Structure 1
Amino acid sequence: MGGLVGSASWYFDRAVALHREAAAHTEAARAEIVGAPSRLVLPPERVEAYRRLAERLTRGALDLVPGWLGWPLDGSTASLKVGVDVRPGGVNFVLAGVTVLAEKFTAPVVVPLLGGGHVTVDADARRPEVAAWLRGVLLRLVAAVPDGALRVLTVDGGTLGAVFAPFRQLVEAELWRPPVTDVAGLHAVLDEAEAQIAVAQSGGGHHLPYLLITSGALPTGCGQVELARLAAIAHAGPAARVHLLLAGYPPPPGAGQQTPARLDFTTALTTIADGFAMSEPPGPERLSTRGSGFATAVRLSAGPVDGLIETVCGPLASAAWVSSSVDFAALLPAEIWSHSSASGLRTTVGRDGRAWCELALDDSTPHWLVGGRTGSGKTVFLLDVLYGLASRYSPDELALYLLDFKEGVSFADFTPTPIDGTWIPHARTVGIESDREYGLAVLRELAKEMGRRAMELKKAGVTRLADLRTSRPDLAMPRIVAVIDEFHVLFSGNDRIAGHAAAVLEELARKGRSYGIHLILASQTIAGVEALFTKGESIFGQFPLRVALAGGGGVLDKLNRNADNLPVGSAVINTAAGVAGANRIVRFPNNDPALITAHRHRLWHARTPGSPPPAVFAGYAEHHIDSDPAYLALNPQVRRPHALVGRAVDVGLPSAGFTLDTSPGRHIAVLGPSPIGADIVHAGAVSVARQHPPGTVTFVIACLVASADAAADATAAAIHAVDQPVELVDAAGLQTRLGHLAAAIDSATAPPTYLVVFGADAASALLAAKDLTTFRSGHDDLRTVLRVGPTRGIHLLAWWRGARRFIDDIGGSSNLEDVACLIALNIASNDLNNLTGDYKTEWHHRPNRALLIDRHDDRYQLIVPFVRPGAYEHQHH
């Protein structure tokens, strides 16, 4: 290359000397021929010298611009190969125009660009010849550069992108971005250039592609800040393969401003009367030894003939679609479970242009924040990540905790279903349409596991998970990935749950990396998360990796607008907590349902035989006591009977209930007008009946409201089935039975009895009446049974449809200690707080949920109540 440049310099200097000599002859002739047309006639020997010089300059120039870099763009390019003319390791020149030496003799003008410097022209692309020239230079570069070795960022504040319209095939194939037309877009372009320069300066620029910023005209509003950034990029760019091709530079200075200084390493074309004057860049790539530039005017080279750009770009775009296309299978490894997670987790998520994009969950990027509007492909992206991880790492290396707070089935693929009994063996717990309470329970479970791991590290005398796994291979220490989709729901509002969840999340975010616990939080928005507002920096600052899908720019820095107008299936990947300048645009594949099913079966069959399925919490699902494992295991060999009433909204969905022992107050009152109250009483009664030897206790069943008839009949049948005596009574019979039990309690002869009452409030008026002989009322007998009954084996399981009537029946809130277990259904929070006297209780009644309050244990537990199968298929409760 040095020889070529030196030869061209000699020719150029010779041309300049001859031209100046000819110019002197011209001026002398003009002085002698006054009033006659000025016409210089050169001596024959001069004409021949110019001819030979023009030929030599042309040969020297064409040596510098092989193939597309210097070929006429007249359509005669069929024999040219694409992508072979640029030498990535050296200085590459490109044809920029021609200069007239004398008479009819011209010579090509070539300028250093890729690997050498920059080119500017002060006229912008609103001038047709400038627009044509700019397209021509771009086409030469696109056709000459090897595949994948050139990125082009276009800016057009003059024609709003029209100047680059012929290249639309490259935009559609996502080889090029759409042109930016405003200052904000220009900032994003400059951010990318500065990011590449930073990478190169850190020593990582050996394999970087060329980055070419091309401007048809700088946007309106471009000021000193933007010009200063351009100047800095011009200075540092060539060493980082960042180059500028700018029309309309320098822009006219604003009022009171000076014309911007010349850019470093830049060939500048400046408008003059008969073309453009060209000044050369300083440095070894200049053509003249003086560095003064051409002494003759330069005419810009003509643009491509119509259709040539499309002819060249069409195959490039098609090839780009093929080579950059991604499918789900391409994300999966050839061999499953072949990786170790000791130092972190890695998986391929898509393509960044032609290159695969691999992301990590490790000490550098321990947690991720993912944002994207509805329909942006957020669920698809998460499944790509999870299947990629589950394919690379075995269940001994990776455990998954998955939560989804929206009405969807994002993680249903990881659980067994009635249609397909397989599951992803890495999944430990999966929440679908999760309650906030369940989300908090999962976070607490993770915090508990973090504490266990911290203790093991301390006992082993190490500080890193990798060291612990090396020294104690017997310990189960898979890395944990917790994915929470629509996580903002967990922290919405400013209540107790949000506060506790924020505190636990902060602890996990700060310390989790040290113990192999990683978080991926995904949401449509992170706005309005009150519980995290004051902790935003402390929590979100622990999430260096940000993934912004379409509409998800909120996870990026406010000044980072690169996620605007992203197509579905693309994402901005940023490893610097969203700061502009650290972006990668990645395309990720859609999921193939058939392939996913086949791969899930492959992972399931590879699991350790007998491995348990994940604990699944489906927020919409009903639960039935007849299929509850704890219920099916009940038998009379128990110390204290336990009434099962539902499943706790907790990790593993354990059965929830209340022990009916001899302690005072061991009764259950279900409160609320929902008919589910009858089902809860049914579940409690039939579960207790299985825990007594046959014939040893009596069940008195009083069904006082029509809505409970079916539940009461089912209760009586189930108790008969385990050979326990059953008495069916009405309100009057209940009153009588209460009187007998109260009298027997005083004489210590009362038999063990369960009073099972459906719609107890319906008997309130009858129980309030006093006996004219004894002056006792049914309420008096009820209160005696409540106060003393448990010591005699007498317990009440009853459903009241209103909290106020319940309080009246038991003798006021001062007697509330006589009923230790309350189960709230659809009663207002204020009524519940007034009832319990605990105004910190936050109860928002909702379908298919109840709040179990154990006043003796100070336990407030959200449950999914047991209901009878099919009882509520056609109604909402």
Structure 2
Amino acid sequence: MASRWSGLLAAVTRDVAAARGLARLASASAGSARSRTAARHAVVRAAHAACLAQLTEARATTRREITRHYLRESTRLAADIAGVAGVQAPGAAGAPWRDWAPVEPSVGGGGGLLRIGTIGSDRPGECGPNVPALLPLLDRTHLTLTGDRAVVDGIIAGLLLRVLGSTRPGDVRITVYDPEHLGGGLAGFAPLGAAGLLGFVGPGGLTGTLDDLVEQIRRINESVLAGEYASLADITAAGRRRPEPWRLLVLLGDAATAAELTAAQRAQLDRIVRTGIACGVHVVSRGLPVRPGPAVESVTVAGGRVRCASLAALPVRPDPAPPAGRVAAFCRELAERLVAGPPPVRFADLAPEKLWTHGSAAGLGAPVGAGPDGELVEVALGDDPPHALVGGPSGAGKTNLLYAWLGALTARYSPDELALYLLDFKEGVSFARFAPSPRDPSWLPQVRLVGVNINSDREFGLAMLRHLADELRRRARAAKRYDASKLAELRAEDPGGHWPRIVAVIDEFQVLVTGRDPVAAEAVNLLEDLARRGRSQGIHLVLASQDVSGIEALWGRSALIAQFTLRIALPKARRILAETNTAADAVPRFHAVVNTDSGVPDANRIVRLPDAGDRAGWRVLQDEQWHARPDGLPPPRLFDGDAVPVFPAAGHFPDLAAADPDGRTGPPAAVVGETIDVRGRPAVVRLGRVPGRNLAVLGSRTGEACAVLGSAARSLAAQVPAARFSIACLDGDADHAARLLHAALPDAHWYDPDTVDELLTELADGLTGAVPDQPHYVVGYAFDAVAGRLADKPAGGGPTGHERLRAVLARGPEHRVHLLGWWRTVPRLRDDLGGIGARFDAIGAWVALDVHGGELGPLCPQPGGPDWYPRPHRGLFFDRSVHRTPELVIPYELPADAA
């Protein structure tokens, strides 16, 4: 039993040992498996950590790239939006308050979008304050605002200030209905009331205000749009000035106020909202009901942000209200400007966009300034009115007015359509800028003639009138050929002809027509004929004066003054308008009264003139026209009464044949000076084989007498190089001039007081021989200086020097001997010719300097002599073979004298 237990125990022991061995083996195997699993877990954990690190870095890199791209795109987008906003809301309409300043647009401008704040958040890198939020208003929509009242009122104040600052003064009128604060909410705009731009309406005034706006809409639709335009905006889009202002009705109310509106008031408000935009009537409402619709923009303010449909519900951070001080200061300045009247139109505004786009067949029209409404006022010249009378005292702006008118005319009409003749009789050079000069070679292409500093040379004004009279006759003959009664018909019948309208401007014309001398008498007769017949042939006169005496000279000629139906009176002008018309006494400086009905009060138009005298502005206009001038267009003739013409260095004149009044060519011509006429031709004496073809220079002004002789001899030498010249210097004062002539004619023979007898003897003896092939010109300086010697009887008998001189004068021209002599007085010439009963027919031509007209009686066919008094550097020229009456000439300045 014991052994069985022992065996059993041993067996159990063995089994336990075996089990323990198996257990240890299993435990070892499990430990090895755990080790392997732990290793695998470590590998997995390391891989996971690596993946997480890579993912984190990738996420960070992606975030950085996205952020950079977002910043670039958002910056670009913000710049694009800001650029678009700058176009849609330029200047005062879109600038932040720190940069805000009013900007006056061009005529017809204004009405763009208006800034109310900025789009987006304030965080750096996101669309923020640089992207403005813009709302439409003028010509586009009505506004209704709800929410935080303080913010809403700030938005309304900002919109009003931007509207006023981005439109022209007076183009916006505001009515504020504020029953709660009675206008106190917009008190900064109160100064506009003085200029009629702002009105506050109390609780009892709303009905009248709404009724008035409805009536304005009806009137504009009926009388302004008149079925031709759909809206006022279409009128400005067509290039015309806006005919009506914008009218803003600002309604500041609340729920209680809204409840008090009557059915009639609501109906009128609905009519305004429905029909007002086309007529420039807009509603800006806070707290009062405005019927929703496509033309109504709703703005909601909540939580410091603004939302509205036109901004796609984007959150908008509103701008603060404009600074109260800036609002009040701007409104005061605007009111003062409007009370003072509209600003003058600029000189540049008188010109059209393109040069020379108008035709003058039917007449001329151009603005000279702006009316009280800012519209340009056009002044016309044509069949009616044909001529203009301009007047005003010194300093009233007459020259400025003429500059404005000429600038507007020349900008519209090319040289083929308009020809200008400009005279200024006062001591000045107002019109000289339109002709070329050493400082400025350009000129105004329409100008044909300019006369300045001619207050002492009325003959030049008379010459211009004669030229116009000749042109009138030429046009009348052409019209008769085509059976045309006026210029428009002539141009239609003769399209290839050159028939521009002519405007002759004579400033201080009273100098020309005042007096009882022949110049004034002929000038008035010519003016009357041109005024009466010129209208049909396209010749128009503009007479300007600051002296009432000139106007009085015309009032005595009723047939003449009646033709000047266009009257322009500057402040304090006298007798320009009708006797009962005192408008010129009331207009301020820089204004004028334009009247096209001979000064009748009902035809008055008040014009504010631009500053047209600015040389820089004129230079721009003139330079543009000068560069556009047609090829071959000659410069205008400039006559300056203070300038002395210079004799050509070579003695040649390009068209000497044209100096003959009949246009004939013939014997050599001695040039004695320049005529005072439109062409500026040389005054000549034809020296042919005809009795009397001698020249006498009369007067004691040595320099001018020597200049006449010098120019005559030099011009003859240029025409007849083979001619013989003899120079006799008989007075020491003339020695310098005579030697200059001798230097210019080195082959000339020289004589002095001691040898002049030899010259006269030779000349007298030659009168019996054959006629030479070439002429002989004898230039004698001061023959009267040797009168005593010429009167002496020769010791051996024979004729005296005087007798030889008379023989040469009488028969010399037939033998090609011509005497060009200077005598210092007419009595001394008479003595040399034989005394009291002497005949003067041997002197066929003469130039008188400081000799009075009465002394010239024996030499002139006019009874008692010509009406002439001596003037510096002027001479009276008469050639009995061509002249009926003497003409005025200017002795040339010789080249050596100029040096």
Instruction: Indicate if the aligned counterparts of 1:630 and 1:655 stay in contact, CA closer than 8 A.
Output: no
SS of corresponding position for 2:186: coil
Instruction: Indicate if the aligned counterparts of 1:622 and 1:864 stay in contact, CA closer than 8 A.
Output: yes
Alignment correspondent of 2:466: 444
Cα distance in 1 for residues equivalent to 2:381 and 2:514: 27
Closer, same or farther: CA 333–870 of 1 in aligned 2, 3 Å: farther
Cα distance in 2 for residues equivalent to 1:73 and 1:366: 61
Closer, same or farther: CA 745–565 of 1 in aligned 2, 3 Å: same
Q: 1:443-842 maps to which residues of 2 (within 5 A)?
A: 443-527=465-549, 532=554, 534-535=556-557, 537-564=558-585, 566-591=587-612, 592-626=614-648, 631=653, 639-675=666-702, 676-694=704-722, 697-720=723-746, 725-748=747-770, 752-812=775-835, 814-836=838-860, 838=862, 839=864, 841-842=866-867
Q: 1:222-233 maps to which residues of 2 (within 5 A)?
A: none
- The normalised TM-score by structure 1 is 0.63
Alignment correspondent of 2:184: 76
Q: 1:857-872 maps to which residues of 2 (within 5 A)?
A: 857-859=882-884, 860-869=886-895, 871=897
Closer, same or farther: CA 538–753 of 1 in aligned 2, 3 Å: same
Cα distance in 1 for residues equivalent to 2:594 and 2:475: 31
- State the Cα distance separating 1:711 from its structure 2 match: 1.4
Structure 1 window deviating more from structure 2 (651-660 vs 524-533): it is: 524-533
Alignment correspondent of 1:264: none
SS of corresponding position for 1:324: coil
Deviation digits for residues 359-393 of structure 1 (CA, Å, limit 9, x no counterpart) = 11122211110112222221111111111111101
Cα distance in 2 for residues equivalent to 1:555 and 1:747: 72
- State the Cα distance separating 1:531 from its structure 2 match: 5.8
Cα distance in 2 for residues equivalent to 1:462 and 1:80: 67
Alignment correspondent of 1:252: none
State the AA in 2 paired with 1:864: I
Cα distance in 2 for residues equivalent to 1:656 and 1:776: 36
- State the Cα distance separating 1:801 from its structure 2 match: 1.4
Cα distance in 1 for residues equivalent to 2:503 and 2:650: 29
Structure 2 alignment gaps of length 5 or more? 1-173, 214-218, 224-242, 246-326, 658-663
Instruction: Indicate if the aligned counterparts of 1:94 and 1:110 stay in contact, CA closer than 8 A.
Output: no
SS of corresponding position for 1:617: strand
Instruction: Indicate if the aligned counterparts of 2:510 and 2:553 stay in contact, CA closer than 8 A.
Output: no
Alignment correspondent of 2:131: none
Instruction: Indicate if the aligned counterparts of 2:387 and 2:564 stay in contact, CA closer than 8 A.
Output: yes
Cα distance in 2 for residues equivalent to 1:673 and 1:824: 10
Alignment correspondent of 1:348: 367
Instruction: Indicate if the aligned counterparts of 2:192 and 2:332 stay in contact, CA closer than 8 A.
Output: no
Closer, same or farther: CA 395–111 of 1 in aligned 2, 3 Å: same
- The normalised TM-score by structure 2 is 0.62
State the AA in 2 paired with 1:801: R
SS of corresponding position for 1:658: strand
State the AA in 2 paired with 1:544: T
Is 1:853–2:878 an aligned residue pair?
Answer: yes
- State the Cα distance separating 1:688 from its structure 2 match: 0.8
Structure 1 alignment gaps of length 5 or more? 1-65, 98-105, 117-144, 150-206, 210-307
Cα distance in 2 for residues equivalent to 1:313 and 1:787: 90
Cα distance in 2 for residues equivalent to 1:514 and 1:407: 34
Alignment correspondent of 1:398: 418
Instruction: Indicate if the aligned counterparts of 1:645 and 1:657 stay in contact, CA closer than 8 A.
Output: yes
Deviation digits for residues 223-278 of structure 1 (CA, Å, limit 9, x no counterpart) = xxxxxxxxxxxxxxxxxxxxxxxxxxxxxxxxxxxxxxxxxxxxxxxxxxxxxxxx
Instruction: Indicate if the aligned counterparts of 2:693 and 2:845 stay in contact, CA closer than 8 A.
Output: yes
Q: Which has the larger radius of gyration?
A: 2
State the AA in 2 paired with 1:847: P
- State the Cα distance separating 1:436 from its structure 2 match: 1.3
Deviation digits for residues 690-709 of structure 1 (CA, Å, limit 9, x no counterpart) = 22243xx3211111223322
Instruction: Indicate if the aligned counterparts of 2:351 and 2:408 stay in contact, CA closer than 8 A.
Output: yes
Closer, same or farther: CA 115–705 of 1 in aligned 2, 3 Å: farther
- State the Cα distance separating 1:319 from its structure 2 match: 5.2
Alignment correspondent of 1:368: 388
State the AA in 2 paired with 1:337: W
Q: 1:103-118 maps to which residues of 2 (within 5 A)?
A: none
Instruction: Indicate if the aligned counterparts of 1:631 and 1:644 stay in contact, CA closer than 8 A.
Output: no
- State the Cα distance separating 1:562 from its structure 2 match: 1.8
State the AA in 1 paired with 2:384: S
Q: What's the Cα RMSD here? A: 3.8
Cα distance in 1 for residues equivalent to 2:560 and 2:469: 15
SS of corresponding position for 1:563: helix
Cα distance in 2 for residues equivalent to 1:710 and 1:568: 57
- State the Cα distance separating 1:316 from its structure 2 match: 2.5
Q: 1:377-456 maps to which residues of 2 (within 5 A)?
A: 377-434=397-454, 435-456=457-478
Instruction: Indicate if the aligned counterparts of 2:350 and 2:368 stay in contact, CA closer than 8 A.
Output: yes
Number of paired residues? 602
State the AA in 2 paired with 1:318: R
Cα distance in 2 for residues equivalent to 1:309 and 1:521: 49
Cα distance in 1 for residues equivalent to 2:798 and 2:403: 71
Instruction: Indicate if the aligned counterparts of 1:402 and 1:430 stay in contact, CA closer than 8 A.
Output: yes
Cα distance in 2 for residues equivalent to 1:69 and 1:517: 60
- State the Cα distance separating 1:568 from its structure 2 match: 3.3
SS of corresponding position for 1:816: coil
SS of corresponding position for 1:430: strand
Closer, same or farther: CA 844–318 of 1 in aligned 2, 3 Å: same
Cα distance in 2 for residues equivalent to 1:514 and 1:749: 57
Cα distance in 1 for residues equivalent to 2:776 and 2:375: 74
Alignment correspondent of 2:336: 317
State the AA in 1 paired with 2:346: D
- State the Cα distance separating 1:815 from its structure 2 match: 1.7
- State the Cα distance separating 1:551 from its structure 2 match: 3.5
Cα distance in 1 for residues equivalent to 2:815 and 2:181: 105
Deviation digits for residues 11-55 of structure 1 (CA, Å, limit 9, x no counterpart) = xxxxxxxxxxxxxxxxxxxxxxxxxxxxxxxxxxxxxxxxxxxxx
State the AA in 2 paired with 1:759: A
Closer, same or farther: CA 115–451 of 1 in aligned 2, 3 Å: farther
Instruction: Indicate if the aligned counterparts of 2:840 and 2:858 stay in contact, CA closer than 8 A.
Output: no
Alignment correspondent of 1:54: none
Give the structure with the higher percent helix: 2
Deviation digits for residues 80-125 of structure 1 (CA, Å, limit 9, x no counterpart) = 978999xx9xxxx999x9xxxxxxxx9999999x999xxxxxxxxx
Instruction: Indicate if the aligned counterparts of 1:368 and 1:543 stay in contact, CA closer than 8 A.
Output: yes
Cα distance in 2 for residues equivalent to 1:423 and 1:470: 30
Alignment correspondent of 2:93: none
Structure 1 window deviating more from structure 2 (314-323 vs 676-685): it is: 314-323
Q: 1:220-259 maps to which residues of 2 (within 5 A)?
A: none
SS of corresponding position for 2:877: strand
- State the Cα distance separating 1:408 from its structure 2 match: 0.9
